[in-house]
Structure formats: structure tokens, C-alpha cells
């Protein structure tokens, strides 16, 4: 089972709020009754008023509210696992998570912009398999090749500079690790989409790209940042405390290096695109994918996922209907049963 709209689960906090409001209302009524006169006398003035019915109406309302919220969440149930045939390519996203990607010369920051670009590219894919690599001074596998795009986007959003202990930017490490994601014996087309500001602190990027080309990989590089550059803010709880400084105590200015990224792409007959415009990046990647041969492959997935929201909404409306027509006075036939041996 999977939940389609998990964000609506926060509405469940309304339930304790409604209960608190109900209890406060009961307390207020009891207080006013005491001010009016003796409680026993007040009860005799309204003998048909039920003590149990208001609680029952509250329970019905809370159940209806819970069902409405679950309906908004839209739980889906899959009936079985099945192997399906798909046609596509294998794509690995290598995302630069070095500290220079925290620069805010591109809003909201280079790293957040990179995440947005990758997420939008994933949204526009068809049936391709994807994987994710994070890199800075070294590379780190985030997600192996998969067809589960929702899981990929979840892992993508959690990426940050703390994932990689070694700082700096080693593009060669990213390329080498990404190449290991692909099956050398597979005939499926292999594409690496590398997102970075291009500040490479290693010397083997070109050599790594040439080796990738021998393996049949194409590399598309996306440059994020500006050539004017920007400072690297160091934040605590979202507040800027200082800026990254070099060994001489000078504030570091990090700049986009497009030439290095273009050289990597050229070595594999790939391409480079500037990441400033999401629309242009999506259009460029779309055209590139259209020119890459698709291969049929098998993928295991949960079949027949079906929405179940209609059952919860229907039950919620039924409960609300009962709640509306349920009066707060005593029910005569139940009262005649005298289940609790009350004196009449």
C-alpha cells in the first residue's frame, strides 16, 4: 500500500483540537448550569436531554473527519508484484554537494537549484531507469538504478554537503562511480547527467570522461552558478553566521566553470547546458533523450495500484448524515429498556 498525498496527514491534528473544544464546551455548559441553579433541578427541567447522545455525536463526527482526511491522503493498494517490459535507457544523476554549491548566486542556492532541475527532469521521463550519485571531494552512492521515481525524488531532497566527508569537487570520482552503476554487458544506452558549478579540484576529469566514452556512456553536463560568482554562506538554523574563508582568512568567491564541464561532455560526444533556466534545461535534455536509442528491459513493480479514497469519503458522508439526524434528546425505546436500572 502507498499513500498518494501524505501532506494531508497533518490534518489529523484537528482531532485532538475538536476534542478539546468539545470538553471545554461541556465544562462551560456545566458551569453556567451551576450558576443558573441546582443541577438536579436543572435536569428535571429538561428530562428528555441525553447525556450520552452528545458524546455519540462527537464520536461520529471524529470518525467522519478521520475518513475525510484518509480520503484526501488517497491510500492505494497494489494486488501483486509483476514483471513488466519497458523501453528506455539507464540514467545516472551525479549531483555536486560540495560546499561551493551552497552559494546563493543562483536562487535559492546552487544545490537547491540542482535538486529542482533533477526533479523536473525525472518528472518528464517515461520509463527510463535512474540512479543518483552525490559527490564532493569523493563520490557517494545515493540510490542504485531503479524505476521508482517517487523514491528517487525522496532521496534527492535529502542530499546535502554533510553526506560526503571529503570536501572539494572531484568530477573524476563522480564519473568513475557513476560508470559502475551501469552493466557493461547490457545493450541499454547509458547516460550520465552531471550537475555542478564546475569547480574541479582534481586533475583526472578528462581522463575519466574518456574512459566513460569507451564504456559507451554519454555525459550531459549542467552548469549551475554564475561566472561572476558568489560567497558561501555558513548557516545555523537557517541564519547566516559567517562566510567560507580560505587559508589566508579571505572570503571565498566561488565561480561557475563552464569550460571544464563542456570539456567533459565533449569527450563522450554528449553536451553541455547552462542550468539558469529550468525550461531550457528540460528542452535540451528532452531533445538529447529523443536522439538516444531506447532498449527494452524488464522491471519488477507492484501492479494494479488502485485508489481507495472513494470508500473513505462515502463512509464519511454516511457518518455525517447520521450525525445530522441524531438528536441530543433521549431515545424513547432505549429509555424504556432501562438498561442501567435507573429510577423512573
CATH number at residue 210: 3.40.50.410
Q: Are residues 269 and 130 in the same domain?
A: yes
Q: 176 in a domain, yes or no? A: yes
Instruction: Please report whether residue 63 resides in a domain.
Output: yes
* pLDDT given for residue 316 in this prediction: 86
Q: Is residue 298, in this structure, part of any structural domain at all?
A: no
User: Does residue 288 fall inside a structural domain?
Assistant: yes
Together in a domain, 280 and 326? no
72 and 165 in one domain?
Answer: no
Other CB atoms within 10 Å distance of the CB of residue 264 = 28
Residue 299 lies in a domain: no
Residue 140 lies in a domain: yes
User: What is the span of the domain harbouring residue 95?
Assistant: 90-293
136 and 228 share one domain: yes
Residues 279, 178 share a domain: yes
pLDDT at 183: 82
67 in the same domain as 190: no
For residues 126 and 219, membership in a common domain is answered with yes
Instruction: Identify which of 12, 149, 78, 82 has the alpha carbon closest to the alpha carbon of residue 308.
Output: 78
Range list of H helices, the chain: 14-36, 39-45, 52-73, 110-123, 149-157, 171-179, 205-214, 258-267, 278-290, 309-325, 332-337
Q: Indicate if 180 and 269 belong to the same structural domain.
A: yes
d(CA 306, CA 69): 18
Residues of the chain with pLDDT under 70: 1-2, 33, 35-52, 78-86, 201-202, 297-305, 327-344
Residues 62 and 95 in one domain: no
Residues 89 and 86: their CA atoms lie apart, in Å, by 10
15 CB contacts (<8 Å, ≥6 apart)?
62, 65, 66
* Contacting residues for 340 by C-beta, under 8 A, at least 6 apart: none
Number of domains in the chain: 2
Largest CA distance in the chain: 96
Residue 135 lies in a domain: yes
Residues 146 and 274 in one domain: yes
Do 275 and 197 lie in one domain? The reply is yes
pLDDT of residue 327: 63
At what angle are helices 52-73 and 14-36 packed, to 10 degrees? Answer: 160
Residue 91's contacts (CB-CB under 8 Å, 6 or more residues apart) are: 125, 128, 129, 130, 131, 191, 192, 193
Residue recorded with cell 551525479: 94
* Residue 29 resides in a domain: yes
23 and 99 within one domain: no
What's the pLDDT score for residue 232? Answer: 86
Amino acid at each position: 500500500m502507498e499513500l498518494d498525498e501524505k501532506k494531508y496527514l497533518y490534518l489529523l491534528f484537528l482531532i485532538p483540537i475538536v476534542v478539546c473544544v468539545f470538553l471545554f464546551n461541556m465544562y462551560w455548559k456545566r458551569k453556567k448550569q451551576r450558576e443558573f441553579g441546582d443541577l438536579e433541578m436543572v435536569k428535571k427541567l429538561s428530562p428528555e436531554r441525553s447525556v450520552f447522545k452528545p458524546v455519540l455525536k462527537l464520536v461520529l463526527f471524529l470518525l467522519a473527519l478521520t475518513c475525510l482526511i484518509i480520503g484526501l491522503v488517497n491510500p492505494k493498494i497494489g494486488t501483486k508484484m509483476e514483471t513488466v517490459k519497458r523501453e528506455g535507457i539507464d540514467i545516472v544523476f551525479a549531483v555536486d554537494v560540495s560546499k561551493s554549491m551552497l552559494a546563493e548566486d543562483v536562487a535559492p542556492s546552487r544545490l537547491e537549484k540542482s535538486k529542482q532541475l533533477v526533479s523536473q527532469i525525472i518528472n518528464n521521463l517515461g520509463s527510463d531507469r535512474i540512479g543518483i550519485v552525490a559527490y564532493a571531494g569523493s563520490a557517494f552512492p545515493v540510490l542504485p538504478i531503479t524505476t521508482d521515481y517517487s523514491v528517487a525524488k525522496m532521496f534527492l531532497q535529502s542530499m546535502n554537503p554533510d553526506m560526503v566527508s571529503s570536501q572539494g569537487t572531484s568530477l573524476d570520482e563522480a564519473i568513475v562511480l557513476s560508470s559502475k552503476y551501469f552493466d557493461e554487458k547490457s545493450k541499454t544506452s547509458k547516460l550520465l547527467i552531471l550537475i555542478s558549478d564546475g569547480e574541479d579540484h582534481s586533475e583526472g576529469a578528462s581522463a575519466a570522461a574518456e574512459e566513460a566514452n569507451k564504456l559507451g556512456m554519454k555525459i550531459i553536463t549542467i552548469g549551475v552558478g554564475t561566472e561572476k560568482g558568489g560567497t558561501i554562506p555558513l548557516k545555523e538554523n537557517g541564519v547566516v553566521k559567517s562566510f567560507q574563508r580560505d587559508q589566508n582568512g579571505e572570503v571565498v568567491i566561488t565561480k561557475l566553470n563552464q569550460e571544464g564541464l563542456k570539456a567533459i561532455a565533449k569527450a563522450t560526444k554528449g553536451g553541455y547546458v547552462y542550468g539558469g533556466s529550468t525550461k531550457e534545461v528540460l528542452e535540451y535534455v528532452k531533445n538529447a533523450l529523443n536522439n538516444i536509442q531506447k532498449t527494452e528491459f524488464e522491471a519488477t513493480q507492484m501492479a494494479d495500484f488502485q485508489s481507495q479514497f472513494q470508500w473513505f469519503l462515502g463512509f464519511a458522508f454516511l457518518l455525517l448524515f447520521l450525525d445530522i439526524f441524531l438528536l441530543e434528546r433521549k431515545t424513547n425505546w432505549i429509555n424504556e429498556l432501562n438498561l442501567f436500572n435507573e429510577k423512573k
